[in-house]
Amino acid sequence: MIVVMKPEAAEGELEQVLETVPEEEYDSHVFRGVERTVIGLIGEGADKETLKNRLASHPSVEKVIAILDPYKLTSWKFKPEKTVIELGRVKIGGKAPVVMAGPCAVENEEQLLTTAREVKKAGAEILRGGAFKPRTSPYSFHGLGERGLKLLARAREETGLKIVTELMDIEHLGLVAEYTDIIQIGARNMQNYPLLSAIGSLRQPVMLKRGMSATIREWLLAAEYIMTEGNHQVILCERGIRTFGEETRNTLDLSSVPLVKEISHLPVIVDPSHGTGRWELVRPMARAAVACGADGLIIEVHPEPRRALSDGPQSLRPDKFHLLMQEIKEMGSYDDRNTDRVLPSAI
C-alpha cells in the first residue's frame, strides 16, 4: 500500500508513522518528492485493513492507497514524479534523450579509444562496451574481462564519457561495480532473480534490458526485484523481442515505450541495434524511438564493423553515427516536439 503524507508533515511525524508499521511483515520505502513524502509498504501482513485504517487515522497522513496491481515500486502510485537518473551533468529521464554508444565488445585499446573519441565528438554522453559477453555459441569471443573494464575506465578518463557495461553473474558484481557508472543487465539475465536482488543492494544505476520473450509485466516485475532491495535507480531498456520475423534479429517493440510510461515512473531507453540486427535499420528505428518518447538510445558503433569480433552487422560506422546524432538534435527536446507523453497527475 501507499501512504501519502501531508505536505506540511515534519520528519518526526514521518518517523511516527513508520513506527506503526510491523517491520517483520512489511518493507518500508520512503520517497521524498518536491511537494510531499510518500511511503511504499511492500509485504503480506495478515491484517492489512487494520493497518490501513491505523495509518489513515494518523494526523500527518493525507491518505492511504491500496495497490492491487502487481507493480508496486515501479508504479506512478508509489512515486508520482518521474524518475531521473543523474550521473553528474548527464540526466537520464530528463527533457532530452541521452545517447549511449560504443562497440558491442571491448576488443583492444585502439578500437575502444578510437570509438570513444568519435562518439564523444558526435554528442554521445555515455560509452557502452562489453567486457564480459554472453554469447550463443561457446566458441565466440566472450570479452576481455577485467582488462576490458580497465580499458573502459581509461576511455572515461580521456573523454569524460560515463560508462555502461554488462554484468553477467554475481561472481563479478564487485569488480564490474568498481569500474562502471551504470550496470547493464542483459536480456538473458532479466529473470536471474538472485542476480537482480544482489544488484539491488548497491546504490548504483542499473539498466535492465527486456528479455527476448518477456512480457511488459515480467519486465516490470524484474525491476521490482532490484527496487525491493533498496536500489531505485533503474533504467528500462527495450531491445526487441523474438517473434516469427526472420528478416531482422528481433522485433523492436516501440509500443512498449509509451505503454510503460503510462504504468511506470522509470525512464525507458531503446536499443535499435539489437532490436533489428541490421545497421541500415538502426537510424530510422532510433529516430522512431525518440519520436515516441524514449528517454534515450543505446547504439553500437565500431570503426570497422566488418572486422568486429561481436555484432558487426548491426554496428554503425562513426560517420553514420554522426549523421544519426545530427538527426536526433534536429528533432529537438521533448518540450519542442509534439509527442503525447502520458504522465499521470500527482497523487
pLDDT, tens digit, for every residue of 80-107?
889 999 999 999 999 999 999 999 999 9
Q: pLDDT value at position 345?
A: 39
pTM check: above 0.95: no
Listed residue (166, 158, 214) closest to 190, CA to CA? 214
Give the pLDDT band (50/70/90) at residue 212.
very high
**277: its cell numbers:** 540486427
Looking only at Cα atoms, what is the longest distance across the chain?
Answer: 67
Question: Quick count: other Cβ atoms within 10 Å of Cβ 49?
Answer: 9
**What crossing angle do the helices spanning 256-263 and 216-227 adopt, rounded to 10°?**
50
Q: pLDDT value at position 336?
A: 52
Question: Quick count: other Cβ atoms within 10 Å of Cβ 198?
Answer: 17
Sheet holding 61-65, edge to edge: 26-32, 37-43, 2-5, 61-65
Contact 130, 105 (CB under 8 A): yes
Q: pLDDT value at position 338?
A: 44
Rounded-to-integer distance, Cα 171 and Cα 135, Å: 18
Contact 241, 214 (CB under 8 A): yes
Give the pLDDT band (50/70/90) at residue 346.
very low
- Residues 235-240: what's their mean pLDDT? 98
What's at 106, amino acid-wise?
Answer: V
Q: Which residues contact 319 (CB under 8 A, 6 or more apart)?
A: none
Structural domains for the chain: 2-65 (3.30.70.1140), 85-331 (3.20.20.70)
The residue behind cell 520473450 is 213
The answer for 290, left when phi > 0, alpha when psi is -120 to 50, beta otherwise, is alpha
Tens of pLDDT, residue by residue over 284-297, are 999 999 999 999 99
Percent of the chain predicted with pLDDT > 70: 92
* Helix, strand and coil percent figures for the chain, each rounded to 5: 35, 20, 45
